[in-house]
Amino acid sequence: MSRKPLAQLAKLTIEHFRRPRSSADTSTSLAHTLVRAGIIEPPSWYAAASHVGPSPAPMRARKPKEIVFEEDALIRAYYKREPTAAFDAIDARTGAKTHYVRSFALRQLEVMRERKLNEREALEVVKSERDEERERFARAAKSGAPLDDADRVLTAPGDGNDTQLVLEKIQAKEEEAWMANVEDVKAKLESPGETSTPRPPRRRA
């Protein structure tokens, strides 16, 4: 088989999934050429396409409406107030626990509806509830009987606990080593030692 039929076959595969630019470039016309030349067997859609020509008008679909939830604006406001929360991972698996930022927004929305409060007033209420949750977990951690982070609703895992994460411990050790090195260099510079006699300037001949 020469290279031309192979190129036509590859073109047929590509053009079949691309909007045709002209009637000569349609996948149907390419299939006609390859079938008549005996290069390929008629595809399953060949008979129907041979009797029905392509639509003269391009297919157009309406742009789907953006899905918006009531708590979306409150979630954006949360991240604007606390941008570092965006670094906390969100578990998108089916049945996963609701992220604490969304839980905060949902609780804020609930307070707005039930107590007839505006966004700012409801925010202060939920902030107070979040502080109480943080303190409760912190007290439990200090008592030696830490609570399960899975029971958190408005706070991130580890929020309020004094225990350092592994990365924080590594950074603390690096800072200690760096400061010790700085103090060692200072001590060497400040210690009295033999001063070298400066050399006289060289005279030009």
Question: Per-residue pLDDT tens for 136-186?
Answer: 999 998 888 989 989 999 999 888 776 555 566 677 788 888 888 888 888
Q: Enter the pTM of the model.
A: 0.53
The Cα–Cα gap between 121 and 127 comes to 10
Query: What pLDDT is attached to residue 60?
Result: 78
> Does 36 fall in a domain?
yes
Domain of 100, in residue numbers: 72-151
Residue 74 has pLDDT above 70, yes or no: yes
> Does 159 fall in a domain?
no
Tally the domains of the chain.
Answer: 2
Residue 29 has pLDDT above 90, yes or no: no
Q: Where are the alpha helices (H) located in 71-165, listed in sequence order?
A: 72-81, 100-115, 119-142
Question: Per-residue pLDDT tens for 43-55?
Answer: 888 888 777 766 6
| 84 and 37 share one domain | no
Burial code (b: 16+ CB inside 10 Å, e: under 16) for 118-157 equals eeeebbeebeebbeebbeebbeebeeeeeeeeeebebbee
> Does 179 fall in a domain?
no
> Does 59 fall in a domain?
no
> Does 15 fall in a domain?
yes
| 143 and 76 share one domain | yes
